[in-house]
Structure 1
Amino acid sequence: MLSETVFRSDDVPPADRFERWRELVNQAHAPMDMTSDHREDFRASQRLLDLGSVSVWRTAFQSVCCRRTPKLIRQSDPEGVHLSLPTNGPLVTVRGDHEIVYDPYSLCVYDTSRPTELHAGDSSNLHAGVALEIPKALLHLPGNMLEKLTTRRLSVREGFGALLAHFLTHLMKGTGSYQPSDGFRLGTVAVDLVSALFAHTLDADDILPPETRRQTLILRIHAFIELNLVDRALTPADIAAHHHISVRYLQLLFQQQGKTVTGWIRRRRLERCREDLADPSQLARSIRAVALRRGFATSADFSRAFRAAYGMSPSEYRHAARAGDLEAILPANALGIAPPAVQKNGGDISSGA
C-alpha cells in the first residue's frame, strides 16, 4: 500500500477538531489563516498520499475560508503549485478584485508564493474534492506563465484535464493496489500530466521536455485504446491517425516499452474480461457475452487466450473468484488511471470527474 496519512474529525474531541485540522493542513500544504463558522464542532476527513516530491489527497470538510497572506508567504513558502478539483460544494478563489468560482468540471490552480484567498463549502454543503501539490521546480514553468494559469478554470471534460482528473480520483480509490515503492513512479506520472495540461492550456508545448511529451502521448494512447476495446476493428492505423502520428512511430513507442500495439490491445482486453469474470454483479453475463463485450471476435479465441495468459479457463477463473480462492484481483490499469471517454471517430468527450 502507498504511504498515507489519514485524519478523521470523529477521532478528535469536538472542541479540538478545527485546530487539529488547521495544523494538519498547514503542515501538509503551506501556512494559512483559516476561519470557519463551525469551529466548535468541525467535521472533516482527509487521506494524504505521499508520492515522493508530490502529494495527493482526498478531503471533505465543513465550510472554511483560507487566506495565504504576504506575511505568511514571507515566513514560509514551499514554492509549490496546488491544484484542486472540487467534487461537492463550491470552491471560490479571490486574488485582489478577481474572483473565480470552480465546479466539479474545473481545476483550480494556485501558486503558494502569491497571496490567495479561498472559500470552500457553504452553510448547507460539505466541501469535498481531490487535490495535488507539486514543487514548481519540477514543472519548469516561467513565472509569468504560472500566473496566467492561476486566473483560469482548467476544464477536466476532455484531453489532459480529463486524464489528470481520472488519475487523481481513481488513484485515491485504489491505493491498496500499489506498493510503497510505486509512489515515486506515480508522482512522475502526475508531474507529466500536469506539465502537459499546463503546456496545452497555454499553447506552449515547446516548454515541455521531450521525455514528458513522449510520456504524456503514451498515456493518451493507452486511454484511447482502453475506451475502444469493444471495437473489434481497432487497428494500429486507427490509433496512429487519432493521435496524428505515423504507425511506425506508434510501434516504436510500444517497442521502447518492450511491447507491441496489438499485444497491448489483447492484454487490455484480457484484463478487462478478467475483471468482469471476478465481478459478482456480472454473474448473469455469459462468458461469451463477456468476451464479445471487450472486443474478442469469438468465445473460442477468448478462451484460448485467457488460458494462455492465466493458466486456467474463464469458467474456472470465475468459479475460483466466487469461492474466494484467488489471492488478488489486480487493477485494470497499472498506473491507476481510468481513462476519459475517447472515441475512435472523434475527440475527447469525457463527462468529467
Structure 2
Amino acid sequence: MLETVFRAEDLPVADRFEAWREYLLKTHVPVELSSEHESDFRVTDRVLSLGSVAVRSMDAPAVTVTRTPKLVRQSDPEAYQVSLLCQGSIDVIQQRGRTDFRETHHPYDLVLLDSSQPNESRVRTDEGKTSLTGFSVLVPKALLSVPADSVDRLLARRMPGGEGVIALLYQFIARLTTGTAAYGPADGPRLGTVVVDLLSAALAQVLDAETADSLTPEARRRTLTLRIEAFIQQNLRDPRLAPEVVAAAHHISVSYLHRLFQERGISVAASIRSRRLERCRADLADPAMATVSVHAIAARWGFTDAAHFSRAFRREYAMAPLEYRRKEHPVIA
C-alpha cells in the first residue's frame, strides 16, 4: 500500500499554499483553490493508494475547491469523489446538465461529487476552530455496483451519516488511515475493493435500492460479510458472541453464515476466537496493561474459562500467555 504525506509546516510559509496546490494536482482531480489563509496555510494531507482507489485524510483551514468546465474538458478521470467530514461543514454546488444542485453538509454526512461535471465545495471550519478534519475517497465510476443513473440522483445531496452503512464506511476509513503500518503492499487493492463495496452499499441504502437488486449478488454477499465482520469486531467482549448470535443479528440462517465464512477459508467460531486472541496478545504486549492479570485480560475479550484461554493462546502463538508477556517485557514481568 503506497502512502504519501504532505505537511505544510515542513515548508517556508510563503511556499505552503502553492506547494499544496501542486500536490493536489498529482493526487486528486485538477481543481482551482482559494483560501483566506493562503499567507500562512497549515495543512496535513495523507493519501493512501489502494489500487484504483485513493483514500485521503486531511486537517486544513477553510478552503474553496472549484472544478471548472475548462478543467473538466482538460482532464476527467471519470471518478466519484466522496467526502466525509469529521469537523467543519461543506457548502456544495454540483452541476448536472444545466441544473445546479446546492446543499450544506455537516460532520459524518456523505458528500458525493462527479468529476465529469463542474462543481464547487466551500469547506468551512466550525465556529471557534481554526481547522477542519475529514476524509475523502476517489473511486472510478466503473467500479461501483450501483447504476450510474441512480448514483446521479445523489450528487451534492445531503446523506446523513452516524448510522447504517455510511457509519460503517466512515469507521472503516478512519481505522484504515490511522493504522497503515499493519498493511503490506499487496493489501492495497484488496482494501480498495472493501472501500468500493462499502460505498456501493451505502449509496444503495440511501436509495433504498437493496430490494430493487441495485447491487450485484457478489457485491451484496461481500457487503453482508463486511457487516458481519464489523458486528463481530464490535462485540468481541461479549462472552455470548457465537455463530447463532451473529446469524440472528443479521436475519440469516446459521448454515448460510457458515457458507459465507467457508468462502473465506475460516469458520465463524475460529474467526471470533482468532480476533479475541489477537486482542489479548496486544494487551499482553502493552506496557500500560502490565498490572492487569492474564485472567482479567482474557475475560476482557470474552474468554470466561482461563484454562481454555491458555490452551487456545498456546496453540495460536506457541507459548503460554504469561510466557509471552515475559518475552515482550522481561523487566516488567
User: TM-score scaled to structure 2, two decimals?
Assistant: 0.91
Distance 2:39 2:260 in 1: 56
Report what 1:64 is aligned to. 63
How do residues 106-185 of structure 1 correspond to structure 2 at under 5 angstroms? 106-122=109-125, 124-185=129-190
Runs of at least 5 residues in structure 2 that lack an aligned partner in the other structure: none
| TM-align CA RMSD | 2.0
- Tell me the SS of whatever aligns to 2:153: helix
Runs of at least 5 residues in structure 1 that lack an aligned partner in the other structure: 325-353
1:293 pairs, out of 300, 303, 323, with: 300
Distance 1:55 1:312 in 2: 40
State the 1:62 CA deviation: 1.8
- Identity across the alignment (%): 48
CA contact (8 A) 2:146 2:215 kept: no
CA contact (8 A) 1:306 1:313 kept: yes
Report what 2:288 is aligned to. 281
Q: Can you list the C-alpha shifts for 1:239-261, whole angstroms capped at 9, x where unaligned?
A: 11111111111111111222111
Residues 234 and 140 (structure 1), Cα distance of their counterparts in 2 relative to 1, 3 Å cut: closer
Distance 2:161 2:287 in 1: 31
Report what 1:341 is aligned to. none
Residues 72 and 260 (structure 1), Cα distance of their counterparts in 2 relative to 1, 3 Å cut: same
- The one-letter code sitting in structure 1 at the alignment partner of 2:107 is P
Q: Can you list the C-alpha shifts for 1:137-170, whole angstroms capped at 9, x where unaligned?
A: 1114433312222243333322211221111111
Distance 2:111 2:165 in 1: 15
CA contact (8 A) 1:89 1:125 kept: no
Report what 1:262 is aligned to. 269
CA contact (8 A) 1:91 1:102 kept: yes
Distance 1:165 1:129 in 2: 10
Distance 2:285 2:106 in 1: 35
Report what 1:42 is aligned to. 41
State the 1:323 CA deviation: 4.5
Report what 1:102 is aligned to. 105
CA contact (8 A) 2:110 2:158 kept: yes
Work out whether 1:302 is the aligned partner of 2:305.
no
Q: Structure with the greater relative contact order (CA < 8 A, sep ≥ 6): 1 or 2?
A: 1
Distance 2:245 2:152 in 1: 38
Distance 2:181 2:330 in 1: 21
CA contact (8 A) 1:73 1:113 kept: yes
Moved more, 159-168 or 101-110: 101-110
CA contact (8 A) 2:147 2:214 kept: no
Distance 2:44 2:240 in 1: 46
